[in-house]
Chains A and B, each alone.
Chain A
Amino acid sequence: MGVYETQGFKIDNGGKRVVVDPVCRIEGHMRVEVNLDSNNVIRNAVSTGTMWRGLEVILKGRDPRDAWAFTERICGVCTGTHALTSVRAVEDALGITIPENANSIRNIMQLNLQIHDHLVHFYHLHALDWVDVVSALKADPKKTSELAQSISSWPMSSPGYFRDIQNRLKKFVESGQLGPFMNGYWGNPAYKLPPEANLMAVTHYLEALDFQKEIVKIHTIFGGKNPHPNWLVGGMPCAINLDGVGAVGAINMERLNMVSKIINDSIEFIDKVYIPDVIAIASFYKDWLHGGGLSGQSVLAYGDVPDRANDYSAKNLLMPRGAIINGNLNEVHEVDHRDPQQIQEFVNHSWYKYPDESKGLHPWDGITEPNYVLGPNTKGTRTRIEALDEGAKYSWIKSPRWRGHAMEVGPLARYVIGYAQKKPEFKEPVDKLLKDLGLPLTAIFSTLGRTAARALEASWAAQKQKYFFDKLIANIKAGDTATANVEKWEPSKWPKDAKGVGFTEAPRGALGHWVRIKDTKIDNYQCVVPTTWNGSPRDSKGQIGAFEASLMNTPVAVADQPLEILRTIHSFDPCLACSTHVMSADGQEMATIKVR
């Protein structure tokens, strides 16, 4: 490929090639290769999805009422969001409406996932890109306490508390068995926090690990378990019975009280621990505003969280919806999932085959035929890849495009769109955060911006969870306890042919499922997921995806330590099991796969 320009980036695959495989602290399997120039600045980035499961072909011929359980297993990290997308797609196809209570419960569960996912992402998948665990050993517990108390009223902040944690950490490090912290990049000059901030963050890493298991109990109450709670086409399976015979085994006052407590505890933890930590960490990285990638030019959101049941129009969705292209924040385009010209997937650089690869295909007409071939400039062999050839096919991820544009999706995209739409709930927290940090608006188009938007969104979601809890109570009080609509439960009541689309905003971004039903069975099922958008390889025009764009022009402090690469890739919260299962087609069998 040599040198070329795309989307305002100059791609140059000369210089030194660095390979990171596996990329850890993500969901699934992924590889990154970059080219560094003589100043160790990234001038070419190649991101590869390295797994493929073929879920949608497995769905063909199944009962559409079962699809939620299959698609839920696309991802156990964003557990539930695929299930919700699936029941929405099937309900859309079959013309099934759901009761208001089911809408409130689904929203509470979806928001609950956002909160849990964002919190676990920040502390357990992302924090170690900013926080030096070993440096925390040098911290003064008293000063750590002062720091913690200066930014938050969170009660667990005494010098003794931090000293205990530090001692435990010391013992752990001195044991020589470093467990998950082994071979980390400790001491790398790209770490900027003072020891006290590191100790505070490590302490909250452990606290958040304890707390996250509480958050998901809301899924357990309504869905029976977490990960992978149960859902239902037509509503929710959990019946409400407040004061009748058998109430003790249904959604009753005790269950609702538990939900309420968890909602309040979540609000407190986010506002007193998560948000202050993000601000504190950001204040030491204000000079490191790399990683913007496509966020300042092309972003996409489908919108989610319907206020009233059964209305998926933009005005009824509490999460923003729209598309921004060419960096023009003054124009937010409407998004139509059914328009064959808008969302299309390309496979020029993906390990799949189309009859005519010069064209993209809308998910209704998608074809997925695996075609694992490596380009002529690959280094290594078919089963021992040393360096990929990005001029050819190089990923198990397809390249989705919106009206031909590569797009970034996720919390930052949602906040940029909400900001552009001047929605106070999204604009005001961003303005306040920037003001507190003394940064201009352009600073949000960065790795840090992505991380901060996720934290703001967790806080927003926690408040909205409360909103829907109150709504649920009000509706029950008004005498409505329905949770499921069974009018069209029996397949005999379905049309012979039907097609539908369901969408959500998963924690990682815009998620859509497209389903076709024929003779009461799934005829075609197609998912286009957030990490397919963000992790997309190049297309026929050489346009790079959001991961690749975000790495461009980033300086790397130590060439053989991929700390900055991880920091930026992690800021997207990649989910590879989601992105790389995409598959199916109208009746295409997997005939090309050779069984060895």
Chain B
Amino acid sequence: MVETFYEVLRRQGITRRSFLKFCSLTATSLGLGSAYAPRIAHALETKPRTPVIWLHGLECTCCSESFIRSAHPLTKDVVLSMLSLDYDDTLMAAAGHQAEAIIEEVKKKYKGNYIVAVEGNPPLNEDGMFCIHGGRPFVEVLKETVADAKAVIAWGACASWGCVQAAKPNPTRATPVHQVITDKPIVKVPGCPPIAEVMTGVVTYMLTFDRLPELDRQGRPKMFYGQRIHDKCYRRPHFDAGQFVEQWDDESARRGYCLYKMGCKGPTTYNACSTTRWNEGVSFPIQSGHGCIGCSEDGFWDKGSFYDRLTNIKEFGIEANADKVGGTAAAVAGAAVAAHAAVSALMRAKSGVQQKSEVK
């Protein structure tokens, strides 16, 4: 009686024909040949929803709030039909012992097959007791919960980099997840918070294709964090033309000129804001007149004022410098990307299908 991925599609008006087409397309694009299509279809039709344990460390809950803003898919469809959100302090009915018992149950019942999503991070000072969970240091709970997980999602700037509580002098020694968990695949989804559809996009990608998204060398999905905000900013032509806002609410601000001189960090920030935009595409910070504060970048709190003009980029020849700042490979020729993606997809698909056949 489990509502499977296929049933969700059906309920949302997708025909069986389209579903099978999707499966064979998936098989082909993974380089597996059409023979694999029925196996993929079978897996998607029958597999139970993947359990997700969503833990909270030191944070502000903005990631949870962002997650419930998702428009496609709707959060209710994610929670009711796509995954099984078995533990999330923010939304779950149970509390105390009844809540803690769920973690144990999921660990046992779905050993190696559940995902741990971490919002916030563990503080290590004061024996970890700056964040107490069930009378114990959060860092202990985190390590135990992750021990039998398939993969970890590090939500937001807190889990990915440390964020505001880790800004200097980091009084609690708030520590990003990858420095505490070293033996599991971790997908970082940075931002303060990340965009809602980026969050659900990453999760549904993992559930649909049963693999991690392609990550850059900092562990971020390339599909959303592969380019700078500046690269796709609709105000970019004003940057190129040397038309800048000189002070708040001046004539240039009203005309929508470039915010670079007002401290915009778009040229050094890797995120999807200028393309996916926020809250169902309504706007993004630059469109609403404020520069990007760089909230998806490591240590963005400690790079000077949000209103300091970036001095480490040049108006021309921006690629080399910004690349150094961002720490990620700049966009290379399309053909090379495609070739690379195809090879790695094939490699993963082979192991992915083996995994799938083990999943009932």
Contact residues of A with B, CB < 8 Å?
19-29, 31, 50-55, 57-58, 62-63, 65-66, 69-70, 73-77, 79, 120, 124-125, 128, 133, 168, 171-172, 174-185, 206, 209-210, 212-213, 216-217, 219-230, 232, 234-241, 244-250, 258, 370, 372, 380, 382-386, 396, 481-484, 486, 489, 560-562, 566, 577, 583, 589-590, 593-596
Q: Is the beta-carbon distance between B95 and A562 smaller than 8 angstroms? A: yes
Q: How far is the CA of A78 from the CA of B87 in the complex (A)?
A: 23
- Contact of B286 with A by CB under 8 A: yes
Q: Is the beta-carbon distance between B92 and A182 smaller than 8 angstroms? A: yes
Q: Please name 10 pairs of A and B residues whose Cβ atoms are closer than 8 Å in the assembled complex, sorted by A.
A: A21-B132, A31-B132, A51-B130, A53-B165, A66-B305, A77-B61, A77-B62, A176-B1, A221-B283, A237-B288
What residues on B are CB-neighbors of A577 within 8 Å?
A: 58-61
Q: How far is the CA of A207 from the CA of B79 in the complex (A)?
A: 14
Q: How far is the CA of A246 from the CA of B257 in the complex (A)?
A: 8
- Contact of B85 with A by CB under 8 A: yes
Selected from B127, B173, B306, the residue in CB contact (under 8 A) with A383 is B127
A-contacting residues, B51-72, CB 8 Å: 51, 56, 58-66, 68-71
Q: Is the beta-carbon distance between A58 and B126 smaller than 8 angstroms? A: no
Q: Is the beta-carbon distance between B165 and A384 smaller than 8 angstroms? A: no
What residues on B are CB-neighbors of A23 within 8 Å?
A: 95-96
- Contact of B228 with A by CB under 8 A: no
A-contacting residues, B120-170, CB 8 Å: 123-138, 140, 163-165, 167-170
A182-B92, A241-B254 given; A51·B248 CB < 8 A: no
What residues on B are CB-neighbors of A209 within 8 Å?
A: 68, 74-76
- Contact of B219 with A by CB under 8 A: no
Q: Is the beta-carbon distance between B56 and A29 smaller than 8 angstroms? A: yes
Q: How far is the CA of A19 from the CA of B95 in the complex (A)?
A: 10
What residues on B are CB-neighbors of A560 within 8 Å?
A: 97
What residues on B are CB-neighbors of A370 within 8 Å?
A: 126, 130, 171
Q: Is the beta-carbon distance between B89 and A79 smaller than 8 angstroms? A: no
Q: Is the beta-carbon distance between B1 and A171 smaller than 8 angstroms? A: yes
Q: Is the beta-carbon distance between B133 and A22 smaller than 8 angstroms? A: yes
Selected from A52, A181, A386, the residue in CB contact (under 8 A) with B135 is A386
Q: How far is the CA of A180 from the CA of B350 in the complex (A)?
A: 34
What residues on B are CB-neighbors of A73 within 8 Å?
A: 60, 62, 163-164, 192
Binds A, one of B36-44, B176-184, B274-282, B326-334: B274-282
Q: Is the beta-carbon distance between A24 and B94 smaller than 8 angstroms? A: yes
What residues on A are CB-neighbors of B92 within 8 Å?
A: 24-25, 180-182, 184
Q: How far is the CA of A241 from the CA of B251 in the complex (A)?
A: 9
Q: Is the beta-carbon distance between B256 and A249 smaller than 8 angstroms? A: yes
Q: How far is the CA of A124 from the CA of B76 in the complex (A)?
A: 12
Q: Is the beta-carbon distance between B62 and A228 smaller than 8 angstroms? A: yes
Contact residues of B with A, CB < 8 Å?
1-3, 48-49, 51, 56, 58-66, 68-71, 74-76, 79-80, 83-86, 88-102, 123-138, 140, 163-165, 167-174, 192-193, 195-196, 234-235, 247-249, 253-257, 273, 278-280, 282-290, 293, 295, 301, 305-307
Of A226, A370, A385, most buried by chain B (CB within 10 Å of CB) is A226
Q: How far is the CA of A594 from the CA of B127 in the complex (A)?
A: 9
A54-B172, A212-B68 given; A22·B285 CB < 8 A: no
Q: Is the beta-carbon distance between B288 and A20 smaller than 8 angstroms? A: no
Q: How far is the CA of A486 from the CA of B273 in the complex (A)?
A: 27
Of A175, A239, A244, A577, most buried by chain B (CB within 10 Å of CB) is A239
Closest CB in chain A relative to B149 CB, distance in Å? 17
Q: How far is the CA of A272 from the CA of B222 in the complex (A)?
A: 44
Q: Is the beta-carbon distance between A382 and B129 smaller than 8 angstroms? A: yes
Q: How far is the CA of A570 from the CA of B79 in the complex (A)?
A: 22
What residues on B are CB-neighbors of A219 within 8 Å?
A: 279
Least CB separation from B94: chain A residue: A183
What residues on A are CB-neighbors of B59 within 8 Å?
A: 76, 577
Closest CB in chain A relative to B199 CB, distance in Å? 12
Q: How far is the CA of A226 from the CA of B196 in the complex (A)?
A: 9
Q: How far is the CA of A386 from the CA of B136 in the complex (A)?
A: 9
Q: Is the beta-carbon distance between B95 and A225 smaller than 8 angstroms? A: no
Q: Is the beta-carbon distance between A239 and B127 smaller than 8 angstroms? A: no
Contacts A27-B90, A396-B130 aside, 18 further interface pairs with beta carbons under 8 A come to A20-B95, A21-B133, A24-B99, A28-B56, A53-B165, A53-B172, A75-B60, A76-B61, A120-B68, A172-B80, A184-B92, A230-B285, A239-B249, A246-B256, A249-B256, A380-B135, A483-B249, A486-B247
Selected from A76, A213, A240, A384, the residue in CB contact (under 8 A) with B279 is A213
What residues on B are CB-neighbors of A21 within 8 Å?
A: 96, 132-135
Selected from B85, B278, B285, the residue in CB contact (under 8 A) with A180 is B85
Q: Is the beta-carbon distance between B289 and A250 smaller than 8 angstroms? A: yes
Q: Is the beta-carbon distance between B71 and A213 smaller than 8 angstroms? A: yes
Of B76, B101, B137, B171, most buried by chain A (CB within 10 Å of CB) is B171
Q: How far is the CA of A389 from the CA of B335 in the complex (A)?
A: 66
Selected from B97, B256, B257, B279, the residue in CB contact (under 8 A) with A220 is B279
What residues on B are CB-neighbors of A216 within 8 Å?
A: 69, 279
Q: Is the beta-carbon distance between A210 and B96 smaller than 8 angstroms? A: no
Q: Is the beta-carbon distance between B253 and A239 smaller than 8 angstroms? A: yes
Closest CB in chain B relative to A399 CB, distance in Å? 19
Q: Is the beta-carbon distance between A237 and B94 smaller than 8 angstroms? A: no
What residues on B are CB-neighbors of A24 within 8 Å?
A: 89-95, 99
Q: Is the beta-carbon distance between A383 and B287 smaller than 8 angstroms? A: no
Q: Is the beta-carbon distance between A228 and B192 smaller than 8 angstroms? A: yes
Q: How far is the CA of A448 from the CA of B61 in the complex (A)?
A: 26
Q: Is the beta-carbon distance between A174 and B289 smaller than 8 angstroms? A: no
Q: Is the beta-carbon distance between A382 and B307 smaller than 8 angstroms? A: no
Q: Is the beta-carbon distance between B93 and A221 smaller than 8 angstroms? A: no
What residues on A are CB-neighbors of B282 within 8 Å?
A: 217, 220-221, 258
